[in-house]
Structure 1
């Protein structure tokens, strides 16, 4: 809360109190790097005074970058522009006692997912086998390995750069006995290598979750849990959590699955009336 208040104060100093909300809510601190997600209609040059102010006011920030595109492409990356400080995109990001070497230009990462990382880790029971279908640099997987007692966490990503970071982060956090990094397309890996393997499967890539649901169902070795992340557009008065349940239920019904929905929660806002929602669902054989 104190950090949010300080970011709002810095933005107000640069742009005035009426415009501050357009900027401070779009700042993320990743290790010693500050990232400003460029507001629509704002030129990159307009962000440089804010970048300089962040360097002055936040001694732990050494580099400031603008994220100038949405998350896009096969590897789900943003385009970045350096604004101020060290021209370095590598940093060490820490979450829940774990350390992660990250290059923000080569793997997607958002501190706004930190609560979700912890929430899922608390749900994992001792001895479970977990599959993380879209693991990135390994945050979900490693936090689960460090804070729960899984038998194994199969941690898959298609991005070679993200995979290399994941391998390094597994060693850095000393969870080589728990986390198995796998480079590849998650659907193919489950189909070819991991059928009937897991008690719990994470699907934290909204763009592919519904499409890849058949592979996730094949990955369960019996009754088990799916954590399905979806992007939901909800018109005014419509609960995005309910809409996410409807979207997932329709797909599971098409696949003939027996299931019960345990929870649906908004993870974060990703655009006007657009939310990322996670649905926890228990699937019967």
Structure 2
């Protein structure tokens, strides 16, 4: 049984069928923390029995939180309310043989990017110079360092809490000589790496289009830019075409020849709203 069905079934048992229908159909597990989303019309107190039931049914879960706001702000985090179990927001999250200390209240973490983390790592060639413009707690960067053989991964984030966790995680995974955490605005920091990168990651859809020219600046004469973008469209099948056209036109305006070698819809993030990824191969004219 998937986690969404599990959550709905449990909510039917503990709350009511009506309340279960109103719940967001996704139970997110990060380390030993479970996260559920709160619909506006449901009070936090009503969800506490559900939190206790989750602890009873899933013994590996030690803490249950409710996300009460959408992702927002410069640091891309939600507001959370604790409803059951240990009152802590930090945990150790495991992915692809790596360990990550994270704090759900201070840094953005999404298990939904699990496949993308390893997919990108497998594309990295020996001795590549990689720049991750929006690194968070270091998941993309560290998984690349552990599963590929890059020369260096410059790992940038503007969030000081994410930076501290990234520094910790680099040591935890013993990749100090490869992953270099950098605190700052990627748009400003990346000018220090002009013409140095073989591959650039832009896993922040809200800023990808704005910062894309900066990424082009940091590329060598040719290289890859992995762009994560949001697309609003009536048809899911049109999302990739829309995103590809947008970035190919932007590249052309920058006098750079780019094409999407690969594109996929990563996930649906709302009604007729999709997160997509484009693997852009760029050649500077």
TM-score range, shorter chain: over 0.9
Summarize the alignment of residues 95-244 of structure 1 with structure 2, pairs less than 5 Å apart.
95-191=95-191, 193-236=192-235, 239-244=238-243
Instruction: For residue 47 of structure 1, report the CA deviation from its aligned partner.
Output: 2.2
1:184-239 CA-partner distances (Å, limit 9, x unpaired): 00010111x11111100000011110000111001111210010011111124752
TM score, norm. by length of structure 1? 0.94
What is the Cα deviation at residue 91 of structure 1? 0.4
5+ residue gaps, structure 1: none
Give the TM-score, by structure 2 length. Answer: 0.94
Residues 156-191 of structure 1, C-alpha deviations (whole Å, 9 max, x = no match): 000001000000000000000110000000010111
C-alpha displacement of 1:42: 2.8
1:48-75, CA deviations, whole angstroms, 9 ceiling, x for partnerless residues? Answer: 2221111110001111111111111111
Per the alignment, residue 282 of structure 1 pairs with: 281
The residue that corresponds to 2:81 in the other structure is: 81
Residue 7 of structure 1 and its aligned partner are, at CA, apart by: 4.0
- Residue segments in structure 2 that go unaligned for 5+ positions in a row: none
**2-side partners of 1:111 and 1:183: how far apart?**
23
Which residue of 2 is the match for residue 252 of structure 1? 251
How many matched pairs? Answer: 284
Q: Secondary structure at the match of 1:117?
A: helix
Q: Over the residues paired in the alignment, what is the CA RMSD in angstroms?
A: 1.8
Q: CA deviation at 1:14?
A: 3.1
What whole-Å deviation, never above 9, does each CA across 1:218-266 have from its counterpart, x for those lacking one? Answer: 1111210010011111124752122211222232222221011111111
SS at match of 2:244: helix
Report which stretch shifted further, 105-114 or 238-247: 238-247
Cα 1:265–1:21 change in 2 (3 A) is farther
With over 3 angstroms needed to count, the CA separation of the structure-2 counterparts of 1:246 and 1:15, relative to structure 1, is farther
CA shift in 2, pair 1:225/1:237, >3 Å: closer
